[in-house]
A = this chain, B = another copy of it.
């Protein structure tokens, strides 16, 4: 993730929040009043988004400086001071909410991902995200998943083939769907097939696809499917996997568990900015 590529999103967020002006701050704080703010986390968690938050302040005023006291991606206790922001007070107050909104979401995603990864750490399985993100936030959300120790699934409809029921029905059969895909897409793109039954699993293996997704299968069926694949494709399970049952799924031997709620039902990590007069 290049900060460069996040700048348009940050600009959009600032425009949305500041609009025609921060009427309170502009009325009260004279230009040039220095302030110092400390980013304090109220809950234990894993921190992601410090460079993004810094960019928010600096987009409003390039002279604002942020000194980090913890590394991006580190685990912190409640009460930890994450960083100190100093410079033009107007910029700090007007950018505060946007910076926190992003930092809290990304840290929330990283923390949830870390927790799942830890829960299955004694299995060789990997935790992945999905495309269940919000407009404009996909690159950031997926970055936060990586910060939490997860891996990314495809970024969009364009960079990996995923053949589902509807595609199979439209093609007439799985083999015809795979054949159509191989004619159409380049040699550098992987092909994944969503399988609902063990028969479909067998067929997918026969067709030599790269990945097989077991969608909404109970754990024992996933285990059976994994055995049928026998290492001839990467296996992935998705649907109905919760923090409660994730170890059961991990024990099936599947290679990847992909979890929509990592990004579609984020619990923001509570972080605040304590501001003091600066020098």
- Of A98, A159, A162, the most chain B CB neighbours within 10 A belong to A159
Is there contact, CB below 8 Å, between A104 and B264? yes
Partner of A264, one of B94, B101, B234, B277: B101
Q: Are B255 and A170 in contact (CB under 8 A)?
A: no
Do residues A188 and B170 form an inter-chain contact, with CB atoms below 8 A?
no
A219 to B: closest C-beta gap in Å: 20
A13 cross-chain contacts in B, Cβ below 8 A: 134-136
Contact of A21 among B151, B157, B164, B264 (CB under 8 A): B157
Instruction: Determine the chain B residues whose CB is within 8 A of the CB of A157 once the complex forms.
Output: 17-19, 21-25, 94, 97
Asked if A180 lies at the interface with its beta carbon under 8 angstroms from chain B, I say yes
The yes or no answer to A211 lying at the interface (CB within 8 A) is: yes
For A26, list chain B residues within 8 Å (CB): 1, 184
Please state if B24 and A138 are interface contacts (CB–CB under 8 Å): no
A189 touching B161, Cβ below 8 Å:
no
Report yes or no: A166 in contact with B23, Cβ–Cβ below 8 A.
Answer: no
Binding site for B on A (CB under 8 A): 1-2, 4-5, 9-10, 12-30, 33, 35, 59-60, 89, 93-94, 97-98, 100-102, 104-105, 108, 126, 128, 131-139, 142, 146, 151-167, 169-171, 177, 180-181, 183-190, 192, 210-211, 234, 236, 255-256, 260-261, 264-268, 275, 277
List 14 A-B residue pairs with CB atoms under 8 Å apart, sorted by A's residue number: A5-B20, A9-B136, A16-B135, A16-B136, A23-B160, A24-B161, A25-B167, A28-B163, A97-B157, A101-B131, A104-B264, A146-B184, A159-B159, A160-B188
